[in-house]
Chain A
């Protein structure tokens, strides 16, 4: 298998390109996704290749173009609306939560909504409180939606291709910090990654670290430093929150006896809570310490870097949490 290095954004773009070539029902729409190529360059060249009928610049009307996407999905297309900043997904909640997620169930299975909503997430760019949030946990709370949170170019491409073949609404979260900064191997050959399969990014026996989306990267860096101390951490990426690969998480903790969960969404009632509960229930008899959770600090995300960085889990906080787990301590 021949492999190249692609950025996260290039991997996304390639998945869209390949699937648009394969399936004429797929249309991309959003604010400046067409002629401009997308604010984050994830749709670059698609407008030139597939034309304005399939790569569509919309008015700045998130609810309008996502609502329209739900209806187009119900009548023969697979729309891929882009929410430029994930924070703006708050404008679209009715369309996703009350409409897309419920149509199939509410009609006794008559209606399918093949829809892939691409939204960004993540802080760390001094974008302020309304351009930095990570809202994946909200959608994992809604039956009828699937939620994807890739961490590498390889995963992003394979999972997006799966999303674009799904008959269900999918919310696909892309951490915008990774678009240009994270590069990784992506094979030339076609592949899809099934939903509901966690990936063990690093094997280990002493502690289980579960990280979501971009948090995989500081977690892997932390694992390397821990290895120097003689601690072998297993690092697991759930890759999809709905469906969730519970067995892989539980089996790992049965082996290691402890877990730290890292996420850039808010900690309070966040994704870390559901994962911790999954482990606490599934591996209760094997735990040597309480499960540690590291989410975003529960404050609006500040602008100035010194404060913003204090809200996001990092290598140092992850290592400290691992030490607490291994020593059977609790945080103050």
Chain B
């Protein structure tokens, strides 16, 4: 694929294709975990993000490798978008010693510090303090790094958002708050839980730049993030992006997500599927042809199969590890 800039799309061809590859990788990873869970190959719960792929991929496309993210309990997409490898991810999900966290974190707590992934957090809003701290460090280190906090619509009602947002504005921190509004805080629509007009309005009230974004449009997410990143790198302070999207599945595998969402509502969201739309766009613009798409999908399929079989064959950690890594 050439590196030429595609007409009317803001990225070069290879980047546009990479966005597609990452979105499909997340989708297939999540669908595979669904099967892994149902077959009993993993312990615990599985919180999947299929449907939401455009937001993490669009955001991370605007980041440098040395920028950092904090993630959430629904974090597999963030990890893959920031460059996480499928092998150690799948192994972590299965609790194996070859996992990113040696099986000690699990599917909710995948981290790869070398990729700027400062951990996925099981506490709603739990990454916000950490992300503010990373932004604080980056401002002082002066290398132009930015810090991104991914969080969901539930976290907008946690006090830590307001406390860190106030500090981030006062101290002009290079911090980007990315709210993935997937419409449901567990089993309740966000409109029943959020007073006023939502997080963007709240951010503006604190003197922060904020934008509402179609979270299913990877290019729109990329463009909005790029603006926020440029502001942050230029020392112009934090931003908030509210990306509206949907999770297709339930809160976790085993909870079908049908008890509180209508068929009609879900059908509307499926009609706006982020991957289907982006695939159509790439074909229409001639960025890619159907054969190339199939090749990409085949490659992803093989990578996932390899990740699953390697994770299944990998050993669990030795019990002697149980009290390692408590203290440095």
Query: Which residues in A have some Cβ–Cβ distance to B below 8 Å?
Result: 53, 58-59, 61, 63-77, 79, 94-95, 98-99, 103-112, 143-144, 146, 167-168
Task: Say yes or no: A63 contacts B328, CB within 8 Å.
Answer: no
User: Which interface residue of B129, B134, B328 has the most chain A CB atoms within 10 A?
Assistant: B129
Q: Could you tell me if A72 and B111 are in contact, using CB atoms closer than 8 angstroms? A: no
Quick check: is B267 within 8 A (CB to CB) of the other chain? no
- Given that A64-B163, A106-B101, A110-B112 are known contacts, is A70 also in contact with B129, CB under 8 Å in the complex? yes
B172 contacts the other chain (Cβ, under 8 Å)?
A: no
Residues in chain A near residue B121, CB distance under 8 A: 99
Q: Which residues of B contact A104 (CB under 8 A)?
A: 325-328
Beyond A63-B160, A71-B131, A111-B119, 16 additional contacts (C-beta under 8 Å) are A63-B129, A64-B164, A66-B129, A67-B160, A68-B129, A69-B133, A75-B118, A75-B134, A98-B122, A99-B121, A104-B325, A104-B327, A107-B111, A108-B102, A108-B105, A108-B325
Q: Does B138 contact A (CB under 8 A)?
A: yes
B166/A64 in contact, CB under 8 A: yes
| Nearest Cβ on chain A to B28's Cβ, whole angstroms | 25
Contact with A107, one of B101, B132, B159 (Cβ below 8 angstroms): B101
Which residues of the partner chain A approach B327 to less than 8 Å between Cβ atoms?
Answer: 104, 144, 146, 168
> For residue A111, which residues in chain B have a CB less than 8 angstroms away from its CB?
111, 113, 118-119
* B137 x A71 contact (CB < 8 A): yes
A67 contact set on B, CB distance < 8 A:
128-130, 132-133, 160, 163-164
A107–B133 CB distance below 8 A: no
Report A220 CB to chain B, min CB distance, Å: 32
**B140 interface residue (CB < 8 Å to A):** yes
Total A-B pairs, Cβ < 8 A = 138
Flag whether B215 is at the interface (Cβ < 8 A). no
In contact, A64 and B137 (Cβ under 8 angstroms): no
Q: Are the CB atoms of A98 and B101 closer together than 8 Å?
A: no
* Complex interface: chain B residues within 8 A of A68 (CB): 129, 132-133, 136, 164, 167
Residues of B within 8 A of A69 (CB): 133
Min CB distance A240 to B, Å, is 13
* Complex alpha-carbon distance, A312 and B268, angstroms: 65
A144→B325 CA distance, assembly (Å): 9
Tell me the B120-159 residues at the A interface (CB within 8 Å): 121-123, 126, 128-138, 140-141, 147, 159
CB distance from B320 to the nearest CB of A (A): 14
Instruction: Please give me the residue from chain A that is nearest to B149 by CB atom.
Output: A71
Residues in A neighbouring B129, C-beta threshold 8 A:
63-64, 66-68, 70-71, 95, 99
Whether B84 sits at the interface, judged by CB under 8 Å, is: no
Would you list 16 pairs from A and B whose C-beta atoms are within 8 A, ordered by A residue?
A53-B140, A61-B163, A61-B166, A64-B160, A65-B167, A71-B118, A71-B135, A75-B118, A98-B126, A99-B121, A104-B328, A105-B325, A106-B109, A107-B113, A110-B112, A146-B327
Size category of the binding interface on chain B = 35 or more
What residue of chain A has the Cβ atom nearest to residue B131's Cβ? A71
The 6 lowest CB-CB distance pairs between A and B, nearest first, are A67-B129, A71-B133, A64-B163, A108-B102, A71-B130, A108-B101
Per the bound structure, the CA–CA distance linking A38 and B203 in Å amounts to 31
Q: Could you tell me if B328 and A168 are in contact, using CB atoms closer than 8 angstroms?
A: yes
Q: Does B281 contact A (CB under 8 A)?
A: no
Considering the chains assembled together, what is the distance between the CA atoms of A156 and B103 in angstroms? 39
Give which listed residue, B68, B111, B132, contacts A64 with CB less than 8 A: B132
Report yes or no: B133 in contact with A110, Cβ–Cβ below 8 A: no
Q: Which chain B residue has the least Cβ–Cβ distance from A94?
A: B123
Instruction: For A29, give the chain B residue with the smallest CB separation.
Output: B136
A156 to B135, CA, bound (A): 32
Provide the residues of chain B in CB contact with A61, threshold 8 Å.
163, 166-167
Determine if B249 is an interface residue (Cβ-Cβ < 8 Å): no
Q: Assess the A59–B163 pair: CB atoms within 8 A.
A: yes
Inside 8 A of B68's CB, which chain A residues have their CB? 75
Residues of A within 8 A of B103 (CB): 108
- The verdict on A71 contacting B134 (CB below 8 Å), with A66-B129, A99-B126, A108-B101 known, is yes
Q: How far is the CA of A111 from the CA of B104 in the complex (A)?
A: 13
Residue B99 interfacial (CB < 8 Å):
yes
Q: Determine if A108 and B133 form an interchain contact, defined as CB atoms under 8 angstroms apart.
A: no
B97, closest chain A residue (CB) = A108
- Residues from chain B with Cβ under 8 Å of A94 in the complex: 123, 126, 160
Which among B164, B170, B327 has the highest number of chain A CB atoms within 10 Å?
B327
Shortest Cβ distance from A275 into chain B, in angstroms?
21
Contact A106–B105 (Cβ < 8 Å): yes
Q: Is B100 an interface residue (CB 8 A)?
A: yes
> Which residues from B are CB-within-8-Å of A64?
129, 132, 160, 162-164, 166-167
- Residues on A with C-beta less than 8 A from B122 are 98
Which of A110, A167, A168 is within 8 Å of B113, CB to CB? A110
A72 CB → nearest B CB, Å:
4
Query: Which residues of the other chain, A, contact B128 by a CB distance below 8 angstroms?
Result: 67
